[in-house]
Chain A
Amino acid sequence: MTTPTTTQDQKLTPDQLEAFGAEMDALRQRVLADLGDADADYIRTVVKRQQQLEVLGRALFYLPPAWPLAVAALSLSKILENMEIGHNVMHGQYDWMGDPHLSSRVYEWDNVCPSEQWKYSHNYIHHTFTNILGKDRDIGYGILRMDEDQEWHPYYLGNPVYAFLLMVFFEWGVAMHDLEVENIVRGTRKMEDNKALHAGIMRKVRRQALKDYVLFPALTGPLFPLTLAGNATANLVRNVWAFNIIFCGHFPAGAETFSEAECADGSDGKETRGHWYYRQVLGSANISGGRLFHVLSGNLSHQIEHHLFPDLPARRYPQIAGEVREICERYGIAYTTGPLRRQLGSVARKICRLALPDRTSPQPGERDAVRPLAA
């Protein structure tokens, strides 16, 4: 495959976009028609394993020498619960099964962010307006500068520090995401607008903290401090893992951002379905790796497939990735992928580079002109 050049060079014609969208729609239909026992068995098995790991982790805290094992089991359980189960169930990927335990309307995840608020900011805002500057609040989460088109300010000198803190406290960052603190600072959002959200967040925070930092430690009696530290570590491990997977999904070199004007290509001034698919591919990046890695990432290692079809069961993403990539190549749409280490390095470099003012003011369409990772 040839190394793709800049976006501007490969803008598709409206007809090409429509044909591209039709191919994606057809692929989606084919998977939808094939949903069945295999998908149901898969997610139920993952839930079962997650519960076993959770019970094992909680139980091993009674054996002080097994502390590292307990933390490992609980960390894995929390990662599976948040990513392969929680995130995907709340996308409605398993709503077709009619099982209330796997329903996007009912599911509540093991995370301080209330699922109701998460579904709004993630499923709606982020997935609808993926990588549109000024609309997708997941670009930098209102704290970081993750794109050249975000204007530089001395505040951003702390970019690497903010990123590190966001990684460590990721679940809290996600919970506060909906409060749009940056918009309150800017004066475009009022404190009153957050009143209703506060109650929901506080209720969830109390429940999560009571469980992990009071009740389970208390149940281990004299081992209280060890269990408390273990639970906190498991939450930390999950935070670091989720942060890294997610940042590698949208911010490595190769993943692009869009302006609102670019996304009004339809005759009615709205975005066409074809362009929406096109934007999802260019705004996302995959991470290559083994099967276990994909499961532990909640299959968000297939961020491109996830963004094209957020409501298809995630186990389908690796299955259709080859076909998606083939279609993208035929239309000359860059399909960004790379191993975790490389993507992490790319994201880290970007976080540091964008902490400083741009050396040269970017020409339109020339951002990320060097894209060695688009393999």
Chain B
Amino acid sequence: MTLVSQLARSRAVAALTSPHGVDHYLSRVNPMWAAHEVRGRVVAVHRETDTPGAPVATLTVQPTATWRGHLAGQYVQVGLDLPGSARRMTRCFSISSAASGAGEEFTLTVRAHAEGQVSKYLVDAEPGQLLHLSQAQGDFTLPVSPATPGIDPLLFITGGSGITPAMSMVRTLLRDGYEGRAGRPVTFLHHARSAEDQIFAEELADIAAADNDVAVHLRHGDAVFNELELRRLVPGFRDTDTWACGPAGMIELVRAAYADSPRLRLELFKPPTTSSGAAEGDLTFAATDRQVANTGASILEQAEEAGLSPVFGCRMGICFSCTTRKSEGTVRNVLSGAESSLPDEDIQICVSAPVGDCVVDL
């Protein structure tokens, strides 16, 4: 197998299969054969909660041999060919299982959002479903492991489905630690809407009950994050390595509590922005780190106004020279009037105008 995969990745095979690449042919025979690309098959689906309107499920994914593994806390881009529309939707999901090695199974824990076509589909996915994956990405990770001993305490503050990266970290610590112990004091503070909506409830109860250095504090209902409570649980929290992940409102409170402490690492789950129909909001050029107030003109014109020089051609939507990745926000096609709010979408910036906040890769 290694000989075959080494051959498949060789320069000779790349030259023979140029310009399309060997994966173009391999995937035709078996979608789980790959030399460079990463795909995965859902092998099991486990319902975590049945919260009305927002159920949660954990999917066990067997990736292709090209998967390089993941660090606890990382996420993966999941592309799904939605039946009916023929459109491949790509979304990011945090990995909830402990750190994986090359080619090893991992789990994604997904909450179905009312507007989320991908998440709604995944929660009810059947085993066998094919997923188009990226390698694991993101630097919201746990740099310490039981193999690098230390006694510094660790703190995880999470809300809702923001629990997934922290769960991956705690699972990694307990799996790799000596006799199932984290080896250092770990505090896990999590907020869920209700006890019924608590993801990983049983496992968290087991972790809390065991003698493993991990203290679990679950808060349900209206109890939002508050600084006084955190100070009581972890008196020196600002000097404690902290990972916080959750909805924007919670993250703002955590950020305020930590002032500018460098010990705080954040991951924000952004809800999709909805369009308002008027020329408002900000247009952000992510690659050059610039932001302008949206004037309602095409993104190409606004970028040029801001002093950028994006590639363009016809300026009338036919030649696709200006195609650019829009990572967030809603755009309106000025020719058809159609609006699109898909994240990570390729758009023609000469005929797309932002509707509200919008982030493009310029």
Chain A interface residues (CB < 8 Å from chain B): 25, 29, 32, 35-37, 39-41, 48, 51, 55, 91-92, 95-99, 101, 103-105, 108-110, 119-120, 123-124, 127-128, 204, 207-208, 210-211, 215-216, 219, 273, 276, 310-311
B316 within 8 A of A: yes
Chain B interface residues (CB < 8 Å from chain A): 12, 15-16, 18-20, 24-25, 28, 79, 81, 83-90, 313-314, 316-321, 323, 335-336, 345-346, 348
Q: Can you list 29 contacts pairing A with B, beta carbon distance less than 8 Å? A: A32-B336, A36-B85, A48-B28, A51-B28, A91-B320, A92-B320, A95-B346, A96-B87, A98-B79, A98-B89, A98-B346, A101-B20, A101-B24, A105-B320, A105-B323, A105-B346, A109-B19, A119-B319, A119-B321, A123-B320, A124-B314, A127-B314, A127-B318, A128-B313, A128-B314, A128-B318, A128-B319, A211-B18, A310-B318
A176 to B51 alpha-carbon distance, docked (Å): 62
Is A120 touching B19 in the complex (CB atoms < 8 A)? no
B-side contacts of A97, CB under 8 Å: 86-88
- Kindly report which residue of chain A lies nearest to residue B314, judged by CB atoms: A128
Is A110 touching B28 in the complex (CB atoms < 8 A)? no
Is B90 touching A98 in the complex (CB atoms < 8 A)? yes
B-side contacts of A110, CB under 8 Å: 19-20
Option from B16, B20, B319 in Cβ contact (under 8 Å) with A127: B319
B-side contacts of A95, CB under 8 Å: 320, 323, 346
B-side contacts of A109, CB under 8 Å: 19
Shortest beta-carbon distance, B60 to chain A, in Å? 25
A101 to B36 alpha-carbon distance, docked (Å): 13
Is A25 touching B335 in the complex (CB atoms < 8 A)? yes
Is B20 touching A124 in the complex (CB atoms < 8 A)? no
Option from B15, B86, B335, B348 in Cβ contact (under 8 Å) with A210: B15
Having A41-B86, A104-B323, one finds 15 other A-B pairs with CB under 8 Å, namely A35-B86, A39-B86, A48-B28, A51-B28, A95-B320, A97-B86, A97-B88, A98-B87, A98-B89, A120-B321, A124-B319, A208-B18, A211-B15, A211-B18, A219-B16
Is B15 touching A215 in the complex (CB atoms < 8 A)? yes
Shortest beta-carbon distance, B75 to chain A, in Å? 19
Shortest beta-carbon distance, B341 to chain A, in Å? 14
A56 to B345 alpha-carbon distance, docked (Å): 37
A-side contacts of B81, CB under 8 Å: 99
A120 to B20 alpha-carbon distance, docked (Å): 21
A-side contacts of B313, CB under 8 Å: 120, 123-124, 128
A-side contacts of B314, CB under 8 Å: 123-124, 127-128
A-side contacts of B348, CB under 8 Å: 92
A-side contacts of B345, CB under 8 Å: 98
A219 to B20 alpha-carbon distance, docked (Å): 19
Shortest beta-carbon distance, B242 to chain A, in Å? 37
The 5 A-B residue pairs with the shortest CB-CB distance in the complex, in nearest-first order? A124-B313, A40-B86, A98-B88, A92-B320, A108-B19
Option from A36, A48, A276 in Cβ contact (under 8 Å) with B86: A36
A-side contacts of B19, CB under 8 Å: 108-110, 204, 207-208
A-side contacts of B317, CB under 8 Å: 311
Option from A35, A51, A208 in Cβ contact (under 8 Å) with B25: A51
A-side contacts of B12, CB under 8 Å: 215
A307 to B334 alpha-carbon distance, docked (Å): 20
Is A123 touching B319 in the complex (CB atoms < 8 A)? yes
B-side contacts of A219, CB under 8 Å: 16
Shortest beta-carbon distance, B174 to chain A, in Å? 38
- Kindly report which residue of chain B lies nearest to residue A125, judged by CB atoms: B313
A-side contacts of B86, CB under 8 Å: 35-37, 39-41, 97
Shortest beta-carbon distance, A215 to chain B, in Å? 6
- Kindly report which residue of chain A lies nearest to residue B338, judged by CB atoms: A32
A242 to B28 alpha-carbon distance, docked (Å): 27
A-side contacts of B20, CB under 8 Å: 101, 108, 110
Shortest beta-carbon distance, A135 to chain B, in Å? 12
Is B88 touching A311 in the complex (CB atoms < 8 A)? no
B-side contacts of A211, CB under 8 Å: 15-16, 18
A340 to B323 alpha-carbon distance, docked (Å): 35
B-side contacts of A39, CB under 8 Å: 86
B-side contacts of A310, CB under 8 Å: 318-319
Shortest beta-carbon distance, B18 to chain A, in Å? 5
Shortest beta-carbon distance, A101 to chain B, in Å? 6
Shortest beta-carbon distance, B166 to chain A, in Å? 31
